[in-house]
Structure 1
Amino acid sequence: MERMKNLFRSVAVAAVVVLGTQSLSAQQKIGHVNADEIFQMTPEFKTANDQLKTLNDTKTKELQGMYEEYQKKQNDANEKLRNRSEANKATVDAELQTLGQELQNIEQRIQEVQRVAQEDLGKKQQELLAPIQTKVMNAINAVAKEKGYAYVLDTSSGSVIYFQGGEDISADVKAKLGISANATPVTPAVPTN
C-alpha cells in the first residue's frame, strides 16, 4: 500500500512538472529579426563601406598599373621575337632572356601585392565592421530583454528554415539604433565574411 502511495506521488509530481514545463514554454515569447539587413542600414556601415571601397579601389589601381607594365613588356618581347633574324639572333635572344626575367619578377610582385591587398582588406574589414556587429547585437539583446523575449531568431543567417508567428522586432532594433523606418541596406563594396 505504501508503495502504491509513493508511486502515485511520483506520477503526480511528474505530471505537475510536465504540465508546468508545457505551460511555461507556451508563455515564452519568440521574435525574429534580419540582423544583416539592419547591420547594412546603420550609418556606421555606410561609412565603413565607403572606406573599404576606397581601399579596394586603391589596391585595384595599383594592380592595374602592374598588369599594364607586364603587358607592355610582354608586347615588347613579342615584337622582338617577330623581328628576330639570323643577323640579330644573338642580340635579340639576350634581350628576350632579360625581358623574360623581368616578366617573371613582375609576376612575383603582382602575386605579392595581391596577397598583401587581400590581407589589408581583411584586416580593415574586421577593424571597421566588428564594432558595428557588436552594436547591432547589443541593440537586439536590449530589445529582446525589454520586450521579454525568450528567443530571437536571426532570419538572415540561413539557419532558420521556417518560421511562422513570433514577432518581428526589426523595427524596434532599428529604432534603438536610430535608423529610420524607411532606410534601405547599403550593398557591401567588399564581400563580408
Structure 2
Amino acid sequence: MKNLLKGAVLVVGLFAATSVANAQQKIGHINADEIFQQTTEFKTATDQLKALSETKQKEIEGMVTELQKKEKEANDLMLNQSEANKAETQTKLQTIGQEYQQMQSRIQEVQKVAQEEVGKRQQELMAPIQTKVMNAINAVAKEQGYAYIFDIGSGAAVYYAGGEDVSAAVKTKLGIK
C-alpha cells in the first residue's frame, strides 16, 4: 500500500512538473503566406511570371488567328463551290481540313508546354523565397525563445487563443516595412 501511495505521489509530482515546464514555453503565431507575398522577391517573381504568361498567351493567340484564317478559307471555298469546280474544291477542302487538324493539335501542344514552362518557372522563382521566409521565421523563433510558432494563414493551427504575433519581427528580419 505504501508503494502504491509513493507511486501515485511520484506520478502527480511528475505531472505537475511537466505542466509547469509546458506553461513556460513561448508560443507565437504568424501568417507566413502574407509575409511571403510582401517580400520584394515575390513581387519581382510575380512580374516575371506575368510577363512569361503574356508572351506565351500572345504566341497561342497568333496560332489561333492562323487557325481562324484556315477556317475562313474553307468557308469561302464551300461558298464558291459549283458543279464545275466541285472535285477541285473538295480536294482543297480536304487539304485545308488536314492542316486545320494539325494546327489544332499544335495549339493544344503549345498550350500544354506553356503551362508546364510557367509552372516550372514559378517553382524556380518561389522556392528560394519560401526558404528565405522560413529561415527568417526560424531565426526569430530561436532569437526570441519561442517553442512553437503556428502558421495561422495556412490553417496549420486548428485553434489558437492569443499567443504573440511575430510577423513584425520576421518582416524586420526580411527588411519589409
What TM bracket, shorter-length normalisation?
over 0.9
1:75 match: 72
- Aligned-partner residue type, residue 141 of structure 1: N
1:53 match: 50
Query: Is 2:172 aligned against 1:136?
Result: no
TM (norm. structure 2) is 0.95
Counterparts of 1:90 and 1:39 in 2: how far apart (Å)? Answer: 65
Query: Is 2:54 aligned against 1:19?
Result: no
Counterparts of 2:14 and 2:90 in 1: how far apart (Å)? Answer: 90
Task: Give the counterpart of 1:42 among 35, 39, 42.
Answer: 39
Aligned length: 177
Deviation at 1:163, TM superposition (A): 2.5
- Aligned-partner residue type, residue 153 of structure 1: F
1:88 match: 85
Taking the TM superposition and a 5 Å limit, the aligned residue runs for 1:151-170 are: 151-170=148-167
Counterparts of 1:56 and 1:160 in 2: how far apart (Å)? Answer: 34
- Aligned-partner residue type, residue 171 of structure 1: A
- Aligned-partner residue type, residue 115 of structure 1: K
Which blocks of at least 5 consecutive residues in structure 2 are unaligned? none
1:120 match: 117
Deviation at 1:83, TM superposition (A): 2.1
Counterparts of 1:66 and 1:81 in 2: how far apart (Å)? Answer: 23
Counterparts of 1:150 and 1:81 in 2: how far apart (Å)? Answer: 76
- Aligned-partner residue type, residue 144 of structure 2: K
Question: What secondary structure sits across from 2:29 in the alignment?
Answer: strand
What's the C-alpha RMSD, in Å, of the aligned pairs?
1.2
Which blocks of at least 5 consecutive residues in structure 1 are unaligned? 181-193
Counterparts of 1:71 and 1:158 in 2: how far apart (Å)? Answer: 47
Counterparts of 1:106 and 1:97 in 2: how far apart (Å)? Answer: 14
Which is further off, 89-98 or 155-164? 155-164
